[in-house]
Amino acid sequence: MNTVRWGVLSVSNHYRLRVHHQLAGSELSKVVAIASRDTTKAETAARELGIRRSFGSYEALLADPDIDAVYLPLPNHLHAEWVKKAADAGKHVLCEKPFAMDAAQAADAIRYAESKGVKVMEAFMYRFHPQWAHAKEVVQSGEIGKVLFVHVQFTFNNKDPRNIRNILEAGGGAIMDIGCYACSSSRFIMGKEPVRAISLVSRDPEFGTDALSSGILDFGDARALFTVSTQAFPVQQVDIVGTSGSISIFIPFNMYGDVPAEMRIVTGIGPRTVRLGPAGQYRLMFDAFSKSIIEGKPVPTPPKDAIANMRALDALFRSEKSGNWEKII
């Protein structure tokens, strides 16, 4: 095998607008099929995107023997179910974030998939962008000293009641949709797990989803702070502050694929702006996953990372109810 043949479960706007065009021309990852629960939608998407085959059900796509792996950009509450169904069909799985509705559900789905002999990974695409690889290298080099805190801001404004991000039962809300990035990126930079968390959550009176949430993750000798919102002016930035320097990543998560990313590094010598890319972070993620299949090696982001991130989210929700610090277990 030199190329992994991919199927996509869902004709989601996320896949159509952000992911598909980045995969064009890849020698490792070829999208050969797309499925919807509506045959017409699947056919239309396949025609518009130039995908050879379409299916009017997810089950039909999974039954296709010519598909090696599937990408799941489904609503959050469907992730675990379809990870298991894909595993039953012998397909490797790249599952959108957050991996499941809670850590227990994530762990169960991952154990099930691994028992079927398939590879599974959570799709945190930002980690594959060279700006994050460089930030990690700078931190590990000791150039900014010991990291003391990470500060994450990530917001957008969407008040559409039909949007899946505003449907509580489907796993909507700021913490699940974008707070997961705040937790993941902080853990990535720290290189370890937080021990406890506290949150302050404001919920939309109509949707019941958290529309404005802040949290602190306690890493023992360092901390991560974040604010996320589904009803604020769109901003995103990550600041990493150490004892002898800082790093600011200006478009940390939804970075454009056709322009260089910019980050600012400040030390005692002075400030500098580093430009990295352009880079298609979705293509880099798909190709890294495909390479692990082709070479029979572990996936680049181990499945246990998805469970660990869900544990942090679980603690934040427990803290919302208790009003106290909650252990991350």
DSSP tag of 24: T
Beta-carbon count within 10 A of 259 CB: 12
- Which position among 84, 85, 91, 97 bears the catalytic label? 97
Torsion of CA 197, 102, 180, 242, to 10 degrees: 30
Give dist(CA 136, CA 139) in Å, integer: 5
Q: Name the burial class of residue 30, with classes exposed (0-12), middle (13-18) and buried (19+) by CB atoms within 10 angstroms of its CB.
A: middle
Give yes or no: 119 in active site. Answer: no
Beta-carbon count within 10 A of 319 CB: 20
Residue 279 vs residues 81, 87, 136, 292: alpha-carbon distances, Å: 32, 31, 17, 20
Identify the CA nearest to 35 among candidates 59, 55, 51. 55
SS3 content of the chain, % helix, strand, coil (to 5): 40, 30, 35
- Indicate which residues carry an active-site annotation: 97
